[in-house]
Structure 1
Amino acid sequence: MSVVPQTSEPLHAGFHGRCPRCGQGKLFNGWITLRESCDVCDLDYGFADSGDGPAVFITFFAGFIAVGAALWLEIAYQPSFWIHGLVSLPIILVTCLVPLRPLKGWLIARQFQMDATEVRNDDVSGGYQE
């Protein structure tokens, strides 16, 4: 296994939306749309597939925060349902949208750091075959 020298800390760079190899180029076009390649070191981002990973982690986190806040609000003040909606909606939006970009960048940088690629059917040897 070869070791590729790093010019930046990939996880820190990914968390900040920068190229995991050079730490300078942009990782995203816009908010969460992945660029095709780094504009500084020409790293092809074709390897990157974060899939639903960021959304799953964020959903668990946001659900925990939103349900906790709703329970606290209900126990402490017993407001009507529209107050629950008025308070819960911003909490859910903030806890879902704010961490999405950093977490997606971090997971892509982790893929780069671990040299992870997608497994294809022809890559697998052995196992069940008819």
Structure 2
Amino acid sequence: MADTEPEHAGQPGIASAALFGLCPRCGARTLFGGLASFAPRCRVCGLDFSGFNVGDGPAAFLTLIVGALIAVLAIWVQLSFEPPFWVHILLWVPLTTLAVVGGLRAGKAALLAAEYQRRAGEGRPRDE
């Protein structure tokens, strides 16, 4: 049973790549070059990230999910504690910003890692 070793041995899983911004090939923390934008390529192994089509899919779902959660929490806080309006601003603006940016990074990284593991791409051969 020596050849039952997984094909992706030594590579990070989708969840760890998403949470920590790991390169799906070598596991280095080189996936992001900006706040929510990918680096052009991995500085360690040279994997070209531009060959992956992540697009805006995570942003659409994230907007709906975060918006619904924040709205429900804001209504609950208002009905339970009746705080002044400025408390809502201090609570929900930073919380929404952090949830959207953090969720967008994780969602984009998860999709890129899934595309890499399933060998999906833009229809051209990738360097492997």
Pairwise TM-score range, normalised by the shorter structure: 0.7 to 0.9
Given candidates 54, 59, 64, the residue that maps to 2:58 is 54
Equivalence for 2:93: 89
- Tell me which structure has the larger Cα radius of gyration: 1
Number of residues of Structure 1 aligned to a counterpart in Structure 2: 117
What is the TM-score normalised by the length of structure 2? 0.74
Query: Which amino acid in 2 is paired with 1:46?
Result: S
Equivalence for 1:64: 68
For residue 17 of structure 1, report the CA deviation from its aligned partner.
1.0
For residue 108 of structure 1, report the CA deviation from its aligned partner.
0.7
Query: Which amino acid in 1 is paired with 2:34?
Result: G
Change (3 A) 1:44 1:6: farther
Equivalence for 2:3: none
Q: C-alpha separation between the residues in 1 aligned to 2:114 and 2:67?
A: 25
Given candidates 4, 10, 14, the residue that maps to 1:11 is 14
Given candidates 25, 33, 52, the residue that maps to 1:21 is 25
Equivalence for 2:108: 104
**Percent identical across equivalent pairs?**
32
For residue 67 of structure 1, report the CA deviation from its aligned partner.
0.8
Q: C-alpha separation between the residues in 2 aligned to 1:83 and 1:12?
A: 34
| 1:28-61 Cα distance to aligned partner (Å, 9 max, x none) | 1132221222222221212222111221222122
The answer as to whether partners of 1:58 and 1:99 remain within 8 angstroms in 2 is yes
Q: Aligned pair 1:73/2:57, yes or no?
A: no
The answer as to whether partners of 1:28 and 1:35 remain within 8 angstroms in 2 is yes
Q: Counterpart of 2:65 in 1: which secondary structure?
A: helix
Query: Which amino acid in 1 is paired with 2:74?
Result: A
Of 29-38 and 105-114, more deviation after overlay is shown by 29-38
The CA RMSD measured in Å over matched residues stands at: 2.4
